[in-house]
């Protein structure tokens, strides 16, 4: 399969697999092909690690909750499908006639899945660094402007700066409650300066709840 992704495959069979949708196999059982589902599974994991590493290194000032939010913005279907569109992946997809007629080569979900499959293929073909460079070039750098002006605010750092400027004790966060099963917990957190409660917040993680508590404290005590 000849298609320029900016990576020269040593094993072109991997590239062909990445572009083969499961619907294509139903009409081409005589061809020795496999769908991209397994390599997409691998690519999904590799992609998450690459994006996590990139954000971790690029934004050392951001808390875990903020990094998680940024990562979710980058690996969502909309963003990944746009990356596939920019690579002109759609026309190269191996789809069934029915899938093609229904616009499958423009389907955001299929395009996003294919991008993950390509990441898995590059990783299998040349290793992590090659996959990292591919993702950086085709997803991270093009998406930079997408989230550059929308970085989630670090309310905890901002609160600490303001509290210190006022000569008060360093903010201290305490968990007031932890509700729900392990896979779907909700945390309630309060932030104190000494014994004074400054704010309270609720979130799906401790970090998110702390950020919201800090935001409430800023809204209540720090004049705009």
Question: Which of 224 and 166 is assigned the larger pLDDT?
Answer: 166
Same fold, 12-148 and 155-221: no
For the chain, the domains span 12-148, 155-221
Query: How many whole angstroms separate alpha carbon 113 and alpha carbon 110?
Result: 5
Region 49-59: mean pLDDT is 94
CATH architecture classification, 12-148: Orthogonal Bundle (1.10)
Residues 114 and 37: their CA atoms lie apart, in Å, by 9
pLDDT exceeds 80 at position 58: yes
Model confidence at 26, in pLDDT bands (50, 70, 90)? confident
Is this prediction's pTM over 0.95?
A: no
Given 16, 40, 113, 116, which residue is catalytic?
A: 116
Active site residue 44: yes
CB 124 within 8 A of CB 14: yes
The span from the CA of 187 to the CA of 209, in Å, is 6
CATH topology of domain 155-221: Double Stranded RNA Binding Domain (3.30.160)
CA distances from 44 to 31, 60, 75, 82, 159 (A): 26, 24, 9, 16, 36
CA dist list (Å): 142 to 82, 84, 85, 177: 10, 12, 12, 41
Catalytic option among 44, 99, 125, 210: 44
pLDDT at 144: 80
DSSP SS3 for 197: strand
User: CA 211: distance to chain centroid?
Assistant: 20
Work out the average pLDDT over 7-14.
89
pLDDT at 149 over 90: no
- Average pLDDT over the chain reads 87
Instruction: Quick: pLDDT tens for 91-147.
Output: 889 888 888 888 888 999 999 999 999 999 999 999 999 999 999 999 999 888 766
Residues 6+ apart with CB under 8 A from 46: 119, 120, 123, 128, 131
Average pLDDT over residues 51-67: 86
Task: Give percent of the chain with pLDDT exceeding 90.
Answer: 46
Q: Is the pLDDT of residue 152 over 70?
A: no
116 is catalytic: yes
Mean predicted confidence (pLDDT) in 151-171: 84
pLDDT at position 7 is 86
């Amino acid at each position: 399969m000849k298609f320029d992704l900016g990576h020269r495959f040593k094993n072109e069979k991997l590239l062909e697999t990445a572009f083969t949708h499961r619907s294509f196999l139903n009409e081409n059982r005589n061809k020795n092909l496999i769908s991209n589902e397994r390599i997409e599974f691998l690519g999904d994991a590799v992609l998450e690690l690459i994006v996590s590493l990139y954000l971790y290194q690029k934004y050392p000032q951001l808390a875990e909750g903020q990094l998680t939010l940024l990562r979710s913005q980058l690996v969502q279907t909309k963003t990944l499908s746009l990356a596939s569109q920019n690579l002109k992946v759609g026309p190269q997809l191996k789809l069934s006639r029915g899938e093609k007629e229904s616009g499958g080569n423009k389907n955001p979900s299929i395009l996003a899945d294919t991008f993950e499959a390509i990441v898995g293929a590059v990783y299998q073909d040349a290793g992590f660094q090659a996959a990292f460079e591919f993702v950086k070039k085709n997803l991270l750098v093009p998406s930079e402007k997408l989230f550059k002006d929308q970085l989630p605010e670090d309310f905890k750092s901002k609160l600490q700066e303001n509290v210190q400027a006022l000569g008060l004790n360093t903010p201290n966060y305490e968990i007031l409650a932890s509700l729900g099963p392990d896979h779907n917990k909700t945390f309630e957190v309060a932030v104190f300066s000494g014994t004074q409660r400054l704010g309270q917040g609720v979130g799906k993680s401790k970090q998110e709840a702390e950020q919201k508590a800090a935001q409430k404290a800023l809204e209540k005590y720090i004049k705009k």
